């Protein structure tokens, strides 16, 4: 963090990329032959995959025109472009009915978060805050999946907090939504189905934090 003036602060963080090995089971069955996929009785096979997590870079500025106000802006970049194809390796119990290595194509694209916020400090340790976030989509149409209904999203939030001599607490509410996103040209699955269509995003969240001073 760099603070050239009492009213003005700049900050930045960097989180490098990492890779996590996931292990578990793949469960699959198919009662009717569909295209190249034969009839398969229920199977549970040990499996593993190396899943990459991308680097993140964020920076922000805080401006306090008076001791009663704090205005902030942040921008965060996530290099989702590194999430290409993840290969699930079938390990113990593999019986040859499906390929030993199952590639899962994500091919996501890098995206940004843009965040604005304001806090008004009141008397007796109370404060109220509000904010807005714009989140760019990371999932291209070619590899869209209903499992991750990504789109250009908007988040609105508001909260209240109190700082006391012994206890602190904050309560916040956030509403997230996106307009309908039309997906076309998505790659077909093994059964020939695509994810073409319209998708929307909606979420609600409540956050409560409590602090105790010893």
Of 42-46, 147-151, 189-193, the least confident? 189-193
Residue 40 lies in a domain: no
What is the tally of structural domains in the chain? 1
pLDDT of residue 90: 85
Residue 87 lies in a domain: no
Which DSSP letter does residue 110 get? -
β-bridge mates for residue 207, sequence order: 172
Residue 85 lies in a domain: no
Residue 208 lies in a domain: yes
Which DSSP letter does residue 186 get? P
| 25 SS3 class | strand
Residue 92 lies in a domain: no
Residue 26 lies in a domain: no
> What residue numbers bound the domain in which 12 lies?
2-16+53-80+106-212
Of 37-51, 105-119, 149-163, 171-185, the least confident? 37-51
Which band of pLDDT confidence, cut at 50, 70 and 90, is reported for residue 133?
A: very high
pLDDT at 94 over 70: no
pLDDT at 36 over 70: no
Q: How many CB atoms within 10 Å of residue 195?
A: 21
Question: What global pTM score does this model have?
Answer: 0.81
| 124 SS3 class | helix
pLDDT of residue 97: 67
**Look-up of token digits 């907090």:** 161
Q: State the first-to-last Cα distance of the chain, in angstroms, to the nearest integer.
A: 27
Which band of pLDDT confidence, cut at 50, 70 and 90, is reported for residue 148?
A: confident
Residue 39 lies in a domain: no
β-bridge mates for residue 23, sequence order: 48
Which band of pLDDT confidence, cut at 50, 70 and 90, is reported for residue 135?
A: very high
Pairing type for strands 126-135 and 111-121 reads antiparallel
Residue 97 lies in a domain: no
- With beta carbons less than 8 A apart as the criterion, state whether 76 and 112 touch: yes
Which residues in 31-137 belong to E strands, given as ranges? 40-53, 56-63, 69-78, 85-90, 101-105, 111-121, 126-135
pLDDT in tens, 158-169: 999 999 989 999
């Amino acid at each position: 963090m760099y603070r050239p003036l009492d009213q003005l602060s700049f900050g930045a963080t960097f989180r490098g990329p990492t890779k996590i090995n996931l292990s578990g089971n793949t469960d699959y069955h198919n009662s009717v032959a569909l295209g190249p996929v034969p009839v398969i009785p229920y199977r549970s096979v040990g499996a593993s995959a190396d899943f990459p997590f991308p680097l993140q870079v964020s920076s922000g500025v805080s401006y306090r025109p008076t001791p009663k106000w704090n205005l902030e802006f942040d921008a965060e970049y996530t290099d989702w472009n590194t999430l290409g194809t993840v290969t699930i390796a079938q390990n113990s119990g593999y019986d040859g009915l499906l390929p030993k290595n199952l590639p899962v194509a994500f091919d996501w694209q890098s995206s940004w978060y843009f965040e604005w916020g304001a806090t008004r400090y009141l008397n007796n340790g109370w404060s109220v805050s509000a904010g807005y976030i714009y989140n760019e989509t990371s999932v291209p149409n070619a590899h869209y999946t209903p499992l991750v209904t990504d789109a250009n999203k908007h988040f609105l939030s508001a909260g209240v907090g109190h700082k006391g001599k012994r206890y602190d607490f904050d309560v916040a509410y956030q509403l997230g939504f996106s307009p309908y996103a039309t997906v076309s040209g998505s790659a077909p699955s093994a059964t020939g189905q695509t994810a073409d269509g319209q998708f929307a995003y909606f979420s609600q969240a409540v956050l409560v934090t409590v602090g105790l001073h010893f």
